[in-house]
Copies of this chain bind each other. A is one copy, B any other.
Amino acid sequence: MHNDMGVIDLGSNTARLVIYQQDAQGLVYELDNIKRGLRLSSHLQDGRLDPAGWEKTMACMRQFRDILAAHQVSKVIGVATAAVRQAENGGELIKSIEAETGITMRVLSGEEEARYGYLAVMHTMNLSEGITVDIGGGSTELTYFADRKLQHCVSFPFGIVTLTRLFLHQDPPAPGEVTSLRDFLITQFQTCDWLRDKACPVIAIGGTARNLAKMHQRSTGYSLGSLHHYQLSADTVQNILAATLSLPLEERKQLPGLSKDRADVILSGLSVFDTLLTLSGGKELIVSNKGLRDGVLYEAVWGPALPPDATAVRKRSIEQFMQRYRIDKKHAEHVRDLALSLFDQLVDGGILPYSDAERDFLEAAALLHDAGRSINVYEVSEHTFYLLSNVLLWGYTHRQRLLIAMIASYKNNKLLLQQVATHADILSKSDKGTAEKLGMLVQLARSLDRTMMQQIKQVQLEIGEKETLLHCYGTKPSLIEYDLLEETVQKAAKAWKKPVRVFVHSSLTHS
């Protein structure tokens, strides 16, 4: 029996229905995501939603109701933001929606809207300090958090649609128009003392941010398709803004990565990012593909408490990933234990240097190494790499995710070289060596549990002058694992620069 849930986000620019499936463990997966560009903020006439906007909204909500009914989704959370909040007749609209579709919509205050953006970031990113900015059609929300705690939040009653209507009339905009827009933004943002000179990352949420990331990825030929956690320097944002400002609308529409229906309003959105980076002294902008509706969902599913730290963020995401791709948990955790035990012993023996980050990557990779099996039992390593590099893992940057993907899928040098070559634009020089060193440990731990039956309970390394002894403590002296160990043990010997001999013990006492 499905336990589906719908989240409706009636925004000032777009209305969106997302259907999630929740499993027995409480983990949620997105099943479908339907959006309609309603542009409600341009239907506000003298503070009221005009009849055309009203009717478009009602038609869209009726369609959403039908979709929810067809999918037999009974639990629906609806939120409405700036356009409805600002419209005098917003309350009537909400009543009318409820009367006609049975869907209860909650009109969020600007501060609530800001807080949900912050919440989405806390649930999916490894950042302890930052400024979030979410630009909608008719409002812009900012927050500042430090030590992962919300310190300030504010909502401004202007967004990309309203700013464009107020300031940018010529095509392309005249320099004076651009200056007026910027001056206006500075004046507005300066009302928030707390934004100034923070020199922390700016996390950009929403469609403008996604389009900015796509434009930059397309222009540089970025080797990953992911938007969440995509980073751009403040200078890059400034350059893209300058280049885009010089183009007339028709040419902007042709820009690779920019949605045609956003080409008119992108300029004001980019100006907001640029101004904010300047005022706050931030050196980089990080795109968050998770925003308001994700924050709303996470709160509904997991309650108001946030993950206390990055480790908790990553852990939940890894768990979700294991569940999603039906990874055999007992096997994965056993491989993780064996790999970490080997790592710790090699560190103690002076063969590997210790690194917190590497140990964390190794743990994640060992837990996820079998993800590719959900695609096929043939070419599992290739499939694992594909899944791990293409599917979001919360709390990791793109480079970290690739590193985990390379470690988890490590099979041989040939495959690793291919991976490194494909993603040379993201990886650092040392990453190949790290992936090889840790990947080999996952591979060895996998062969030690080849049958997925946890027959080899424990391993102990005895690192001598001339050779390393690998003591294996298993359930029986004859295990298929031992018969198949040779190849990986030879690789280990090469990596650890000493011959490795395997000793088989059939009890847990060292004999």
**A residues apposed to B, CB below 8 Å:** 30-34, 36, 59-60, 62-63, 66-67, 70, 225, 256, 375-379, 382-383, 386-387, 390-391, 414, 450-453, 478-480, 483-484
Q: From residue A386, how far is it (CB to closest CB) to chain B in Å?
A: 6
Task: Give CA–CA (A66, B474) in the complex, Å.
Answer: 14
A411 CB, nearest partner CB in chain B, Å? 12
A sample of 27 inter-chain contacts (CB < 8 A) reads A30-B377, A30-B378, A32-B377, A32-B452, A33-B377, A34-B451, A36-B480, A60-B480, A62-B478, A63-B451, A63-B478, A63-B479, A63-B483, A66-B451, A67-B480, A70-B451, A70-B453, A225-B379, A225-B382, A256-B414, A375-B375, A375-B387, A375-B390, A375-B391, A376-B390, A376-B391, A386-B386
Q: A36–B390 contact, CB under 8 A?
A: no
| Least distance between A101 CB and chain B CB atoms (Å) | 13
Min C-beta distance of A385 to chain B, whole Å = 11
Which 5 residue pairs are nearest across A and B when measured between Cβ atoms?
A63-B480, A70-B453, A30-B377, A67-B451, A376-B391
Question: In the complex this chain forms, how many copies of it are found?
Answer: 2
Chain B residue, CB-CB nearest to A454: B70
Contacts of A382 in B (CB 8 A): 225, 390
- Complex formed: what's the CA distance from A143 to B398 in Å? 53
Interchain CA distance A60-B483 in the complex, whole Å: 10
The residues of B that contact A70 with a CB separation of less than 8 Å are 451, 453
Q: Nearest chain B CB to A318's CB is how many angstroms away?
A: 16
Closest-CB distance, A353 to chain B (whole angstroms): 32
User: A35 to nearest B CB, angstroms?
Assistant: 9
CB proximity of A215 to chain B, nearest CB, Å = 14
Q: How far is the CA of A382 from the CA of B480 in the complex (A)?
A: 38
Residues of chain B within 8 A of A480, CB atoms compared: 34, 36, 60, 63, 67
Give Cα distance in the complex from A309 to B452, angstroms.
39
A391 nearest CB neighbor, chain B only? B376
What 18 new A-B contacts, CB under 8 Å, besides A375-B390, A386-B386?
Answer: A30-B377, A30-B378, A31-B377, A32-B377, A34-B450, A34-B451, A34-B480, A36-B483, A60-B480, A63-B479, A63-B480, A66-B451, A256-B414, A375-B375, A375-B391, A376-B391, A379-B390, A383-B390
In the assembled complex, the CB of A311 is this many whole angstroms from the nearest CB of chain B, namely 24
Q: How far is the CA of A452 from the CA of B390 in the complex (A)?
A: 25
How far apart are the CA atoms of A451 and B387 in the complex, in Å?
26
CA–CA, A386 and B484, complex, Å? 31
CB distance from A485 to the nearest CB of B (A): 12
> Which chain B residue has the least Cβ–Cβ distance from A451?
B67
**CB proximity of A154 to chain B, nearest CB, Å:** 31
How far apart are the CA atoms of A450 and B30 in the complex, in Å? 16
A62 to B475, CA, bound (A): 14
Residues from chain B with Cβ under 8 Å of A36 in the complex? 480, 483-484
Closest to A63 in B: B480
Residues of B within 8 A of A453 (CB): 66-67, 70
Residue ID in chain B nearest A38 by CB atoms: B483
Q: Contacts of A378 on B, CB cut-off 8 Å? A: 30
Name the CB-closest residue of B to A17.
B480
CA distance A379 to B224 in the complex (A): 11
Chain B residue numbers with a CB within 8 Å of A33 are 377
Nearest chain B CB to A349 CB, angstrom units: 30
CA distance A60 to B30 in the complex (A): 45
Q: How far is the CB of A86 from chain B (nearest CB, A)?
A: 24
A107 to chain B minimum Cβ distance, whole angstroms, is 23
For A484, the closest partner residue in chain B by CB is B36
For the complex, what is the distance from the CA of A63 to the CA of B482, rounded to whole Å? 11
Cβ-closest chain B residue relative to A481? B63
